[in-house]
């Protein structure tokens, strides 16, 4: 649903409109407000609410509002007219009525209906949806239509489409500023939703770290690893229903060389695998792209030396792969050395795959494949495995240098080369999660119901 409210009032109705907006000020300021010039100026002067002014009614301002309705920007119209001047206003009112009827936009023409409309809006929440139209393999138009169908009218959606030349995190920051301003008056009313792959979700999550603004996740990527790791449904319908429950939980976040990290960082094998699984391969094979790319990389991966620094202590290892995880699904097998990556313990899970020889032979790769199988089993049974080819530990902060320098992947995106410094941010994110999720049992915030108490 659009997130603009349009206001029109005849001269002898302006005082009533001002009183109505004052009564529902906490609701009105959560929306973008459009008003005809004279009405808007009076509202601004009395209420202090920011209002976009169109032309006066005499100069066609009501027709400008009609155009905004046709563009799908208006959630409701309040038009308080003078019944003694109806003869002069009939054509304009009929146009407004017809357009609102066609586009199913609520139109209030007296105080009783206006009060009812704003009371209904006071029960709804506003969500800023960062939507990546090129994520995954589905039809983005159908996906967005289904999201709207499920979430509205309980949630008024402000949809922001990602663009190739703009970081989704920057788009999220603009929305966060608006949310914080509105939540200052009515705490906990507005929130963010990210819909796309792990890259989009990671960028939006980074902007939300330490803000306490809840994040809803509607996964539409190839792997959807973050959703799987946290028990958030990967189906569109179920993910939307999870948001509507209002149940929230707190999880850790992390930063790697300043980049956001909600999942994991991979050095060596995993980074090379992700780079191989390019967009064309993912479009063709879906999740299998990572399996094919991994098999190809396994035959070419060269061992390297890593220098690990924790709390001033330094150790060296010769390895083929290293993973530092904040959260990880069972399918991220190279993160599963400790049996389970706990996303709310304030620690990073480190798994290092040791390489015994500088030049790997077939026997070494067979051992590596065996270790990967055991890691997958470890994830399924949530029990640490004993394997001489693995070094596993937990830490809140780590610095890694590699020789020769290695590519680094963070949450599915190549960010550069080693060295890297990764720091956990305990309790950095608030997420909507299912009541059945294990996260709901640990460090859970109070539920934030989508339907709030009405004003007035």
What are the two backbone dihedrals, phi and then psi, of residue 83, each rounded to the nearest 5 degrees?
-65, -20
Is there a catalytic annotation at residue 62?
yes
Q: Closest Cα to residue 227, out of 252, 195, 256?
A: 195
Which of the residues 11, 16, 59, 62 is marked catalytic? 62
Whether the Cβ atoms of residue 430 and residue 445 lie closer than 8 Å to each other: yes
**Beta strand pairing call for 248-256 and 420-432:** antiparallel
153 cis-preceded (ω within 30 degrees of 0): yes
CA gyration radius, the chain: 27
- Provide the β-strand partners of residue 392: 351
* Residue in the block written with tokens 């001002």: 18
Task: Return d(Cα 338, Cα 383) in angstroms, integer.
Answer: 7
42 cis-preceded (ω within 30 degrees of 0): no
Whether the Cβ atoms of residue 189 and residue 183 lie closer than 8 Å to each other: yes
170, burial (CB in 10 Å: exposed 0-12, middle 13-18, buried 19+): exposed
- Provide the β-strand partners of residue 315: 308
Q: Closest Cα to residue 392, out of 438, 327, 340?
A: 340
Whether the Cβ atoms of residue 188 and residue 448 lie closer than 8 Å to each other: yes
Beta-strand (E) ranges in 162-214? 191-196
Read off the tokens for 137: 């393999």
Please count the other Cβ atoms lying within 10 Å of the Cβ belonging to residue 344. Answer: 20
Task: Return d(Cα 146, Cα 308) in angstroms, integer.
Answer: 47
Task: Return d(Cα 374, Cα 382) in angstroms, integer.
Answer: 11
**Beta strand pairing call for 76-80 and 107-108:** parallel
- Provide the β-strand partners of residue 424: 254
Task: Return d(Cα 126, Cα 120) in angstroms, integer.
Answer: 13
Task: Return d(Cα 456, Cα 450) in angstroms, integer.
Answer: 19
Q: Which helix (H) or strand (E) holds 112?
A: helix 111-122
* Active-site residue list: 62
């Amino acid at each position: 649903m659009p997130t603009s409210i349009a206001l029109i009032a005849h001269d002898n109705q302006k005082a009533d409109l001002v009183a109505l907006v004052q009564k529902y000020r906490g609701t009105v300021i959560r929306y973008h407000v459009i008003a005809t010039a004279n009405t808007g100026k009076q509202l601004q002067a009395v209420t202090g609410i920011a209002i976009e002014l169109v032309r006066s009614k005499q100069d066609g301002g009501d027709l400008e509002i009609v155009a905004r309705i046709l563009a799908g920007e208006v959630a409701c119209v309040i038009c308080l007219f003078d019944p003694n001047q109806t003869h002069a206003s009939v054509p304009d009112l009929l146009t407004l009525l017809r357009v609102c009827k066609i586009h199913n936009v609520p139109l209030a023409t007296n105080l009783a209906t206006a009060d009812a409309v704003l009371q209904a809006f006071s029960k709804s929440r506003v969500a800023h949806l960062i939507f990546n139209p090129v994520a995954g393999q589905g039809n983005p138009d159908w996906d967005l239509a289904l999201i709207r169908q499920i979430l509205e009218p309980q949630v008024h959606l402000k949809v922001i489409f990602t663009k190739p030349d703009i970081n989704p995190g920057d788009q999220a920051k603009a929305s966060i500023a608006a949310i914080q301003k509105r939540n200052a008056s009515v705490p906990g009313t507005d929130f963010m939703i990210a819909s796309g792959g792990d890259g989009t979700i990671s960028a939006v999550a980074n902007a939300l770290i330490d803000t306490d603004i809840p994040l809803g996740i509607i996964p539409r990527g190839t792997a959807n690893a973050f959703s799987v790791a946290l028990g958030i449904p990967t189906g569109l319908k179920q993910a939307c229903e999870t948001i509507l429950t209002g149940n929230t939980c707190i999880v850790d976040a992390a930063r790697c060389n300043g980049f956001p990290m909600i999942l994991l960082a991979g050095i060596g094998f995993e980074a090379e695998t992700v780079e191989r699984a390019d967009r064309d391969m993912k479009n063709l094979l879906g999740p299998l792209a990572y399996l094919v790319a991994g098999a190809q990389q396994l035959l070419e991966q060269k061992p390297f030396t890593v220098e690990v620094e924790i709390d001033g202590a330094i150790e060296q290892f010769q390895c083929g792969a290293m993973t530092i995880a904040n959260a990880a699904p069972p399918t991220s097998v190279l993160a599963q050395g400790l049996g389970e990556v706990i996303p709310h313990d304030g620690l990073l899970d480190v798994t290092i795959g040791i390489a015994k020889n500088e030049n790997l032979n077939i026997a070494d790769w067979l051992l590596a494949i065996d270790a990967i199988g055991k890691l997958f089993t470890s994830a399924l049974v949530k029990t640490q495995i004993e394997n001489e080819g693995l070094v596993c530990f937990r830490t809140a902060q780590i610095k890694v240098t590699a020789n020769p320098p290695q590519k680094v992947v963070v949450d599915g995106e190549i960010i550069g080369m080693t060295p890297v410094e990764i720091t956990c941010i305990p309790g950095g994110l608030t997420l909507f999660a299912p009541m059945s999720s294990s996260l709901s049992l640990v460090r859970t915030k109070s539920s934030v119901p989508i339907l709030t108490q009405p004003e007035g």
